[in-house]
Amino acid sequence: MQKYVMFFLVCLACFSPATGFAYGHYTVYSGVPADIYVDNEYSATITATQSLKLILSGPKTYVIGVRALETGKTYKESVTVGVGQNEHRDIRAFSPQQLSKTEVTVYSQIPAEVFIDSVFNSAVNATDPLTIYLSGPKSYVIEVRATNSRLIHREEVLIDPKSGLIHEIRAFNEYYPAISQQTQTEAPVPAQGTISREEMTEAINAASAKAKAEALAEEAARRSRAEKRDVTTKGIAHVVGVEANQNLPGSVKNMERIKLLFEAIPAFKK
């Protein structure tokens, strides 16, 4: 009898609704082309105008991921399919406004260089403003560093869904070049071991002058050597042409020797 009671209880437990499976129905939307993942497993790719219907069984918790194809940004949402529940839910990721880029135009009344988060981007001047595109949500620090002075215009730009799609940065007002709209400071004095632009120019000029002086000295030395070679050649010619001539009287030879000596002394003194 006890065996039949146990068998009845097991059968009752098996057919009880509390132990039945449940299903969750989820429709996934994305404002941009994206890949859909369920628990990090690829499911499908949809465009900005498509949607994907998912039917997940439970009881279980799933993580639905939506990864934008252009930017790689990922949206994740956790869903739990409970026992005896049939959930219907829409999952919406990446509205077009969230992934849109903000157009930032930088103006400067004097020649300057533009840095974004301390990384050089481009040059700008009064006639050629710089247009850059920044994506969010993120905060950027934009610096406009004057080319011919130590003035810096620093401005923080926050890109988020609530900010506008157009932003302007105006640095170095032409009437008050020492004052800007946000924060304008003098660049820090170069740290020990670095060299300023003026010092670099001075060093280049000094090196150029030294090289020129060395070239002139070398040319003077070359000419001196050439003159000495001429005197030596002339002396050899004298020996060959005069000393070997037996018909010349000794007085003539002595005069030639004195003449050659007076020509050679100035050359060898140099």
Q: What is the average pLDDT score of the chain?
A: 75
Q: Can you say whether residue 4 is alpha, beta or left, with left for phi > 0 and alpha for psi between -120 and 50 degrees?
A: alpha
- pLDDT 10s digits, 206-219: 777 887 888 888 88
Q: 18-96 with 100-186: one CATH topology?
A: yes
pLDDT value for 75: 87
pLDDT value for 42: 94
What are the extents of the domains in the chain?
Answer: 18-96, 100-186, 197-269
Tokens of 267: 């050359």
Residue 181 is classified by DSSP as S
Selected from 2.60.40.10, 1.20.140.10, 2.30.40.10, 3.40.190.170, the CATH number assigned to the domain covering 100-186 reads 2.60.40.10
CATH code for the part of the protein at 18-96 = 2.60.40
Residue 105 is classified by DSSP as E
What confidence tier does 82 reach under pLDDT thresholds 50, 70, 90? confident
Which amino acid is located at 182 in the chain? Q
Q: What percent of the chain stands above pLDDT 90?
A: 17
Give the least confident one: 13-17, 37-41, 69-73, 89-93. Answer: 13-17
Smallest CA-to-CA distance from 28 within 55, 47, 54 is with 54
Q: For residue 224, give every residue at least 6 positions away whose Cβ sits within 8 Å of its Cβ, in sequence order, or none.
A: 267, 270
Tokens of 157: 């730009």
Give the whole-angstrom CA distance, residue 264 versus residue 84.
Answer: 122
- pLDDT 10s digits, 232-257: 666 666 655 666 666 667 676 677 76
Q: CA 20 from chain center: how many Å?
A: 59
Q: To which residue do tokens 């003159």 refer?
A: 227
pTM (2 decimals)? 0.34
Give the whole-angstrom CA distance, residue 220 versus residue 61.
Answer: 92
pLDDT value for 179: 42
- pLDDT 10s digits, 146-188: 998 889 999 998 877 666 677 889 998 754 444 444 444 544 5
- Report helix angle 250-269 to 197-238, nearest 10: 170
What confidence tier does 196 reach under pLDDT thresholds 50, 70, 90? low
